[in-house]
Every structure is written in C-alpha cells, then in structure tokens.
Homo-oligomer: A and B are copies of this chain.
C-alpha cells in the first residue's frame, strides 16, 4: 500500500480547494480523506482536529487575500487604489468562495494577531492616504469601507441580490464610486481641538 505523502501543509491546501468546491461549512475531514484516498483517522497525524484545520484554512485565506490586495495596490493611490482594493477583494471572493467564507472564521486571539488580518487592515488604511482624512477618523473609515465591501460580497454570495432587477455586478461599480465620494466628503465631527487630556 503506497504512502500518499500527506503533510499538514498539503492538507490545508487541499482543504482550501475543497472549501471552494463545496463551501467552507462543508469542509469535512471525511471528504478531505476521501480526496486523498485515505482513511479519516490518518489525517489526525497531521491535523489536531476539525476546528484547527478550519482555522488554518482561515489563516491561509487571509494571507492570500492580503497578498492579492497588496499586489493590486502597488503603485496606485486615491480613487485608483480604492478601486483596485475593491476589485481585488471581489475577484478573490468570486474565484475562491470557500476561502472567502473562511476569512471570517473566528480564530483565537493569538492566531488572529499572527494572521494576515492586521496586514489587510493596514492595506485598507494605506488606501486612505490618498484622501484627506484626519488621523482619528481613519479607523472608522477603514471599518466602514471594509464593512461595505465585505457586506456587498457577502450579500451577493448568499443570493440577496438575485431577486431584484439590476444584476449585482452592475451595482458594484456604483458602490465603489459611492465609497470614493464618501471618502472625499468624509464628515468629521465637530473638531475637538484638544483631545481630553
């Protein structure tokens, strides 16, 4: 009986592909084992348990998303950068739906810190440099932009836009446009000259 040559890394890779095929929630050790022509129990030599596997897929998905976003952002700024950021994330979500879902899998604090999550936040923040936002408003803007992009892709993926007239794709460009406008007119609250000391 020839050995298959499993490894933690290989399993995570295959799990990510599986997620794209059947959905992140349907990633199962059984299915993964089947893919390798191996018994489920054999996987436990390389993976702690299902939750751990999912967390690893999440971490990898975040890293890939960060990579692609960084690549898309290189050399761009302002509206251009915003559009590139949005396009990169959209492209990722559409071409890798399972990994995209994995992106929101809750992982423990230490893993989260060590993941590419913060890097993605930094990239979002970098986009804001093209807009004149006060330092104190940046977190809020980053979050809203992130939420809008994320929410849009999420609603689209779950089919919420399937039952109304213009296709989800058509609204996307308008949405990016709107976000650009928003960043240009970002409402700064009554400026607090001296932050409470």
Query: Across the interface, which residues of B come within 8 angstroms of A170, CB to CB?
Result: 140
Q: Mark A125-151, 1 if CB is under 8 A from B, else 0.
A: 000000000000101110110111111
Q: A113 an interface residue at 8 Å Cβ cutoff?
A: yes
Most interface-central of A104, A112, A160 (chain B CB within 10 A) = A160
Q: A166 an interface residue at 8 Å Cβ cutoff?
A: yes
Q: A174 an interface residue at 8 Å Cβ cutoff?
A: yes
The answer to whether A150 and B144 have CB atoms under 8 Å apart is no
Query: Across the interface, which residues of B come within 8 angstroms of A189, CB to CB?
Result: 174, 177
- Among A142-197, those with CB < 8 Å from B are 143-144, 146-152, 154-155, 158-166, 168, 170-171, 174-175, 177-182, 185-187, 189
The answer to whether B175 and A144 have CB atoms under 8 Å apart is yes
The chain B residue sitting closest to A174, CB to CB, is B140
The answer to whether A140 and B171 have CB atoms under 8 Å apart is yes
The answer to whether A147 and B146 have CB atoms under 8 Å apart is no
The answer to whether A163 and B109 have CB atoms under 8 Å apart is yes
